Amino acid sequence: MSEAVKKIVTPISIEYTITPGAAPTKFLRGIKEGRLLGQRCPKCSKVYLPPRGSCTVCAVPTVEEVEVSDQGTVTTFCVVNIPFYGQVQEIPYVCAAVVLDGADLPCFGVVQEIAVEEVRMGLRVQAVWVAPEERGYTLENIKYFKPSGQADAPFESYREHL
């Protein structure tokens, strides 16, 4: 083997300033007030949350605003058991795809107030929000999801969201 290449470590970072556009702006203003504002496609009737202002499938603008529930169904999940850079949760914890009632896209979140081995596909959950005065224009306003106590959703009800 030839002589080792000399390496140096330099810190780098990238700062973004996001200009969200009309539909995401409404979503971010809503989430600051603890409301989840999506948009319905006029053609396929699917509800986008967060909204992008258009339907990816139908290629048409979405205009109709729809308030989505902060309760939903765990469609699938994983139990995270590995430490990594930037982690904010203590391991093990559950990262789940949750389809909120009234939305047609899953969003990702942490599930707590339940033992990790008891989390399951179809589990009904409820968002836990940070205090109103601490909320910003970010999905971090939802701290985590907790079981809502309702009966599990049947597989067929969320099959198309997998």
Place of tokens 């989840």: 36
How does DSSP assign 46-77, residue by residue?
Answer: -EESS--SB-TTT--B---EEEEPSEEEEEEE
**Judged by CB under 8 A, does residue 140 bind other proteins?**
yes
Stretch that binds Zn ion, among 15-23, 57-65, 74-82, 111-119 (CB under 5 A): 57-65
Using CB under 5 A, which of 28, 47, 55, 123 touches Zn ion?
A: 55
Residue type, 133: E
Taking CA atoms, 80 is separated from 75, 83, 94, 111, 127, in Å, by 16, 8, 6, 11, 20
H or E, element range at 25:
helix 22-32
Does residue 102 touch other proteins according to CB under 8 A?
no
Least distance to Zn ion from the beta carbon of 82, Å? 37
Residue 58 φ then ψ, to 5°:
-90, -10
Q: For 156, which DSSP code?
A: H
Instruction: Evaluate whether 111 touches 120 at the Cβ level (below 8 Å).
Output: no
CB atoms within 10 A of CB 1: 3
Which range, of 11-19, 40-48, 88-96, 144-152, touches Zn ion by CB under 5 A?
40-48
Contact between 162 and Zn ion by CB under 5 A: the answer reads no
| Minimal distance, residue 149 CB to other proteins, in Å | 23
CB of 47 vs other proteins, minimal distance in Å? 8
Q: Given the rule CB under 8 A, which of 52-60, 62-70, 146-154 is the region that contacts other proteins? A: 52-60
- Binding residues for Zn ion, rule CB under 5 A, total 6
- Residues contributing to the site for other proteins (CB under 8 A): 1-5, 7, 10, 12, 14, 16, 18, 20, 24, 27-28, 44, 46-48, 50, 55-57, 75-82, 84-89, 92, 95-97, 104-105, 107-110, 121, 137-140, 142, 155, 159-162
